[in-house]
Amino acid sequence: AQSVAQPEDQVNVAEGNPLTVKCTYSVSGNPYLFWYVQYPNRGLQFLLKYITGDNLVKGSYGFEAEFNKSQTSFHLKKPSALVSDSALYFCAVRDISGGYQKVTFGTGTKLQVIP
Amino acid sequence: EPEVTQTPSHQVTQMGQEVILRCVPISNHLYFYWYRQILGQKVEFLVSFYNNEISEKSEIFDDQFSVERPDGSNFTLKIRSTKLEDSAMYFCASRFGSGGGDTQYFGPGTRLTVL
């Protein structure tokens, strides 16, 4: 079975500073990894994904994530945080063993960008 | 940009009543999903649907739940006799193909409140 861990319930960062939201995963085969963002009272918006290729993946709104196979991590990063980035961020892994590829989510990390 | 839509945005019901949550997936997508998120908790997989049948379901998806694609556009989740613990945000998602890298796109969710 696959799983995702987000060790931080909340991350606080000052506007303009770089941000990192941590994620580690566990899968039996090759991981397909995703980041989603949830704004208050909104649904889940896709940010970026890693399937194969370059370990640094670029996504929406200036976010990027670095896949590290040896550390089984997929941390979300942004060079300069904006107040509007404040939201709930979910890391997710695709389980393909069953063939229909449900997504398993982490518990979420609340990002608070302080003006 | 095409998107997944869900209605209603908020549903309030009495315990024991039946509810139907509706979703319109992205038009050319073939795989459909329901997830739920109890307040303050992580997003949990409920069921996947492909080729007019359930392809996978979680232990949460018991006999009280059913899904249907009654026509070419709608995808519904029915809860036959709601319980207090069914109160949650329910998300519909859709995906085009079976490729491992294919992204699931989520709707804005329906907040179900069972009184």
Q: Is 70 exceeded by the pLDDT of residue B49?
A: yes
pLDDT at A1: 76
pLDDT at B41 over 70: yes
State yes or no: pLDDT of B114 exceeds 90.
Answer: yes
pLDDT at B84 over 60: yes
Q: Which one has a higher pLDDT value, A65 or A60?
A: A65
User: A46 and B106 in contact by Cβ < 8 A?
Assistant: yes
Tell if the CB–CB gap between B50 and A90 is shorter than 8 Å: no
What is the distance between the alpha carbons of residues A91 and B16, in angstroms, rounded to a whole number? 35
Q: Find the residue in A nearest to B50 (Cα).
A: A100
How many other CB atoms are there within 10 angstroms of residue B21's CB atom?
Answer: 23
- B residues 57-86 near A, CB within 8 Å? none
Does B94 contact A at CB distance below 8 Å?
no
C-beta separation of A47 from A35 below 8 A: yes
The amino acid at residue A40 is P
pLDDT greater than 60 at residue A98: no
Decide if pLDDT at B10 tops 80: yes
pLDDT in tens, A38-49: 987 778 899 999
Task: Output the CA angle A6-A103-B107, nearest 5 degrees.
Answer: 100
- Per-residue pLDDT band for B75 (boundaries 50, 70, 90) equals very high
Candidates B41, B103, B110, B113, partner chain A, best to mutate (most A CBs within 10 A): B103
Q: Position B105: which residue type?
A: Y
A103 pLDDT band, cuts 50/70/90, is confident
The answer to whether the CB atoms of A101 and B50 lie below 8 A apart is no
Helix (H) or strand (E) holding B89: strand B88-95
How high is the mean pLDDT of chain A? 90
CA separation for the pair B34, B79 (Å, rounded): 12
Is 70 exceeded by the pLDDT of residue B98? no
pLDDT at B42: 85
